């Protein structure tokens, strides 16, 4: 009686080939899924950067508008406050962080070089919003508050806006640079060059 090697059994060969095909399918499927996830993340990053650039640029355009000089506005307001000790400026509330607030939980979607200047800019915007709350408070408006203290607070407010203008310009420059460096084969790359 002749013994045959188990390796010579065609069923074993077929099973090995089948297992190899299944394993290769898992690897290919996993690779495709990771590639699809990277592409989606890149697309989301581009969308978020574009929206942040628009939001920041809007505020930079307002603050840097040649028709509204922050220094001149400060001088006019301080002159009014100096002339009348009871004069209290009316400071409008602002919201210049809607997009940033919506992406805050996913800020890591941004490229590393973009995160720092964008966060610095928005920290300044948050500080301005807090200052506006102080300038609109009953304490600020109270007759017991010395006018000199009001002037100092208003001066700080204008200084903060000037700093936001500079930080906004820096953030826009970094965002523009990041968006212009995206790969040519990325979705929407052709649109941005037109």
How high is the pLDDT of residue 3?
A: 59
Residues of the chain with pLDDT under 50: 184-194
The total domain count for the chain is: 1
How high is the pLDDT of residue 10?
A: 80
Query: Does 8 map to a domain?
Result: no
Domain of residue 123 covers 43-193
How high is the pLDDT of residue 193?
A: 40
Query: Does 35 map to a domain?
Result: no
Q: Which of 175, 171, 167 is nearest to 192 (CA)?
A: 175
Q: Exposed, middle or buried by CB within 10 Å (0-12, 13-18, 19+), for 119?
A: middle
How high is the pLDDT of residue 4?
A: 61
Rounded CA-CA distance 192/92 in Å is: 36
Query: Does 105 map to a domain?
Result: yes
Query: Does 180 map to a domain?
Result: yes
Residue given tokens 């840097």 in the structure block: 64
Query: Does 36 map to a domain?
Result: no
Residue given tokens 């720092």 in the structure block: 116
How high is the pLDDT of residue 183?
A: 52
Query: Does 32 map to a domain?
Result: no
* Whole-prediction pTM: 0.77
């Amino acid at each position: 009686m002749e013994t045959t090697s188990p390796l010579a059994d065609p069923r074993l060969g077929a099973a090995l080939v089948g297992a190899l095909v299944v394993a290769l399918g898992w690897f290919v499927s996993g690779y495709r899924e990771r590639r699809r996830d990277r592409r989606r993340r890149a697309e989301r990053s581009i969308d978020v950067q574009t929206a942040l650039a628009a939001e920041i640029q809007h505020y930079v355009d307002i603050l840097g508008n040649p028709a509204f000089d922050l220094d001149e506005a400060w001088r006019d307001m301080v002159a009014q406050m100096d002339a009348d000790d009871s004069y209290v400026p009316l400071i409008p509330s602002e919201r210049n962080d809607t997009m940033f607030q919506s992406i805050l939980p996913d800020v890591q979607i941004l490229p590393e070089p973009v995160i720092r200047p964008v966060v610095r800019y928005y920290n300044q915007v948050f500080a301005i919003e807090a200052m506006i709350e102080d300038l609109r408070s009953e304490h600020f408006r109270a007759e017991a508050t010395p006018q000199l203290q009001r002037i100092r607070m208003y001066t700080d407010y204008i200084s903060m806006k000037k700093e936001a203008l500079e930080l906004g310009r820096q953030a826009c420059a970094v965002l523009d640079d990041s968006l212009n460096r995206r790969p040519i084969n990325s979705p929407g790359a052709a649109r941005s060059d037109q």
